[in-house]
Structure 1
Amino acid sequence: MNLANRITLARIFLVPIIMFFLLVNVKTPNIRIEQFSITYNQIIAALIFIIAASTDSLDGYIARKRKLVTNLGKLLDPLADKLLVSAVLVSLVEMDKLDAWIAIVIISREFAVTGLRQIALLEGRVVAASKWGKWKTAAQITAIIALLLNNFPFEFVGFRFDIFASWIAAIITMYSGFDYYMKNKDVINWNEQKQ
């Protein structure tokens, strides 16, 4: 197994660790600064999430740079991304930090685009990542970090950046899914005609 695939696997293995720190009731003291409060568990989970999310670009860069692109990597990389984001979104819903509808919109879009990519793959086509897909990823990661850190540092100025970022992530996610389908609708139409 090459280095890029190992990095991708490490991202997958970090998912249950993040969920452990978010969901398992381990008694740790809170950090309090005026009206702001956060647990050590959330800080640890946020740091692990940031490390895991940053490996998304790293494994792809290494695979391309060293010519280590493999079918396993093509399968594992998007799977790792979806597991990481979905698991943390579900955890945030469980913690009452995120509205369930936002998590459902984001997770549903991921399944829908994955399905589109699978249909295209069966037809020998590749659905390439779009700029909107990259914006979607950046928006989701930003929103998740803000939620994990209890809106730090924006809490001190009274701006609910975490909620704002969540809405932006949901909107960009929906638009990017629409964009993928509009640019690749011939894949679906061709597949329907074939049946």
Structure 2
Amino acid sequence: MNRRHRAAFQRRDVAGSDYVYVWADGVHPKIRLSQTHSCLLVLMGVRVDGTKELIAIAEGLRESTESWADLLRDCRRRGMRDPMLVVGDGAMGLWRALAEVFPQARHQRRWVHKTRNASNALPKSVQPGAKKALQEMYNAEDRGHAEKAVTAFEKAYGAKFPKATAKITGESTSCWCSTTSPPSTGSI
């Protein structure tokens, strides 16, 4: 993409795109950008009809609150409304920026990160069973079933591996946002 196309993309009006879900992530390339701790901040969206599209991409300093807020403010200026749900990796800068710029948006931590963090707190010998128990949580048909799966995980692993259990129970409600009332968007 040349500079002219990139500039047009970054200025385009997004008021007509009603994003239901938004994925936010900071990509840290091995090559250095202009700043020592810079990264690429990426927003991907899903519209009500299930169409997925790149919303915005910008250089940021780490995944700081101010870098995320600048990107989100720019999207708001270009017409973006509060999405129903923003999914991210748990970087605190994103959540603080969302509270400021899109306060109505719920947020959810990506399960892949929670699964990895919990698994890393367990010995390799019990990881396969734990991963299956974690899958029961994030594949649960509703919040009630997810809570039962969390309780089962706590019973199975809590006494011997409290650190792993804390990684699940510490913020589990932020992982269930999408199971409370997801709109139909097709395969995501």
Q: What is the TM-score when the length of structure 2 is the normalising length?
A: 0.28
Structure possessing the higher relative contact order (Cα contacts under 8 Å, 6 or more residues apart): 1
Structure that is richer in helix per residue: 1
TM-score (ref. length: structure 1): 0.27
